[in-house]
Structures are given as C-alpha cells and as structure tokens.
Chains A and B, each alone.
Chain A
C-alpha cells in the first residue's frame, strides 16, 4: 500500500467508529420512547398486554433500522474500503 491508501484506510476506520457511535444514539432514545409509552398504556389496560407488547416490538424494530444502517456502513468502512 502506498501512503495515500494507508491514510484513506486509517480515516475510514475512524469514520467507522463515528458512524456506529453517533448512529446508535437515535435508535437508543427512540426505542426507549416506544417501550416507555407501551409500559404506560399497559399500566392503564393490563388486559391488552399481548397486543401492546406486539405493537411495541414492531415499533422498536422499525426504529432499530437506522441503527442497522449505521452498523452496515461501519462494517463496509472496516472491511471493504
């Protein structure tokens, strides 16, 4: 590898860390919101536990997607670039 390629590789590794690190902030808070409100409505309607848990998991899965995008980009930056 010449010097330019080494620098690109090095910066790509730092970028992978930043991508995953900053990318994990949003999904973490978003999923917390979903589960928090699910607990709140469960406290009000305990009979609907199954429905509420199912909907909570679907909502969390959707807000997880951006975290998975960040993971994919981080892995590409580590192994492909």
Chain B
C-alpha cells in the first residue's frame, strides 16, 4: 500500500471520528434546552414568545461545538496530499479527529445546561427573561473554551509535518487523546456551574452581578484541568 493511500484513508477515518463523536454533546445539550422549554411552556403558555426566543438562542450557541467538529471534518475530507507524502501525515489526521471529536462532547453538554436553566426560570417568572438570557449567553460563551482549545490543537495537528518515526506517531496520538478526553470534564463542569448560577439568578435576579462574578471564578478554576491537558498535548506535539 502506498503511503498516499494510507494518508487518504486516515483522513477519511479522522473526519468520521470528528463529526461522529462531535455531534453527541451538542445534540444532547440542545435536547435538554428544548425539554426545559417545553416543561416551562406547560406551566406558562402565555410566555411562549420569550421562551421560544431564548430556546432558539441557547440552542444556536450550543450548536457551535458541533460546527467546529463539522469544520474539522470537512478540512480532513478535502485534504489532497501530494504523491510524496509521508505516512506520518495520516497519524496527524486521526489525532486531529480524536482531539476535536471527543473535545466537543463536554462543551456541547455544558452549553445545554444553562440554556435549560434559563428556560426553566422564564417559565417560573417571564419578567426575568432579559436577565436570564444575558446570563445564559455569558455562561455558554465560557463553556465553549474547552472546545476552542480542542479546535486549536486539532488545527495545529493538521498543519504539522513531523518526522516519520514510531515515537512521533504515538506522541501525536497521545496529544489528540490528551486534549480530546481532557476537554470532556471541564466542559461539563463549566455547564454545571452555569446551570446552578442561572437557577440562582432566576430566584434572585437583583444579585445577578455577584452571581455572575462567582460563576466566572468557579468556571475559571474548573478550566484549569483543560489547560493542563492542552499543555501536555502541545508538549507531545512540539517538544517530543
């Protein structure tokens, strides 16, 4: 088998991993928002306007994680390696697929949680719609950091051209696994912080500033493990 064929096969496999795994988190997160919106609609049918709006905005932000995975899948599918390409390029494509595929699961689930909490809060008191959707958007933006780290690492992996050795091949796969799996936990964790903070805002909207501040501190600490994972995977790509 020529190395051109190996690289082409690996790029297709990487694209499958990227979008197949990458669609899990966002889909579940969006379903959670819709579920909470429907529950709230059962309680407050008159608030259907703000509920629908908040649900759609929340779902659109939750979708970003899956869109990042889709972008990487398309980049991998349309790779046209030249005839003299080395087999190691194929390993970088599989590693990129693992990185973005697993890396979007956490953020997708995490972004769904505050969206659901905001819909629940609007169902309890439609007057708080503005405060809750603003808080939801801030929280969802922070939950996406985990995916953005994965996206960065997988783009670096796609662009890199390492030496074709066994050690480099395993180091690249290790880099993909580190940021891919490493982004799951912080993504879900950020979402849990945002979920509880948003519910607290719904109960007590006048303490929105204090709650947002505490939420951001909590999310920043939760993000640290993701940063460790990114440091390890960059080390595996560049230092080894």
Interface residues on B, range: 35 or more
Contact with A10, one of B166, B184, B218 (Cβ below 8 angstroms):
B166
Contact B221 A29 (CB under 8 A): no
Contact A15 B210 (CB under 8 A): no
B120 contacts partner chain A, Cβ-Cβ < 8 Å: no
Contact A28 B222 (CB under 8 A): yes
Main secondary structure of the interface of A (DSSP, over half): helix
Contact with B214, one of A31, A49, A74 (Cβ below 8 angstroms):
A49
Task: Give chain A nearest CB distance to B90 CB in angstroms.
Answer: 16
Q: How far is the CA of A56 from the CA of B166 in the complex (A)?
A: 44
Contact B184 A37 (CB under 8 A): no
B78 contacts partner chain A, Cβ-Cβ < 8 Å: no
Stretch touching chain A among B44-52, B65-73, B170-178: B170-178
Q: How far is the CA of A24 from the CA of B196 in the complex (A)?
A: 22
Q: Known interface pairs A28-B184, A40-B199. Does A20 touch B167 (Cβ–Cβ under 8 Å)?
A: no
Task: Give chain B nearest CB distance to A54 CB in angstroms.
Answer: 11
Q: How far is the CA of A29 from the CA of B225 in the complex (A)?
A: 10
Closest to B233 in A: A17
Interface residues on A, range: 35 or more
Contact B189 A33 (CB under 8 A): yes
Query: Which residues in B have their C-beta under 8 angstroms from that of A38?
Result: 214, 218
Query: Which residues in A have their C-beta under 8 angstroms from that of B226?
Result: 24, 28
Q: Known interface pairs A10-B166, A32-B191. Does A39 touch B196 (Cβ–Cβ under 8 Å)?
A: yes
Contact with A43, one of B102, B179, B204 (Cβ below 8 angstroms):
B204
Residues of B whose CB lies within 8 Å of any CB of A are 102, 106, 165-167, 169-171, 173-197, 199-201, 203-204, 207, 210-211, 214-215, 217-219, 221-222, 224-226, 228-229, 231-233, 235-236, 239-240
A–B complex contacts, Cβ < 8 Å, 6 sampled: A26-B185, A27-B189, A32-B188, A32-B192, A36-B193, A39-B218
Residues of A whose CB lies within 8 Å of any CB of B are 6-7, 9-11, 13-18, 20-40, 42-44, 46, 49, 52-53, 56-57, 60, 64, 67-68, 70-71, 74-75, 78
Top-5 shortest CB links A-B: A35-B218, A32-B189, A28-B185, A17-B174, A43-B200
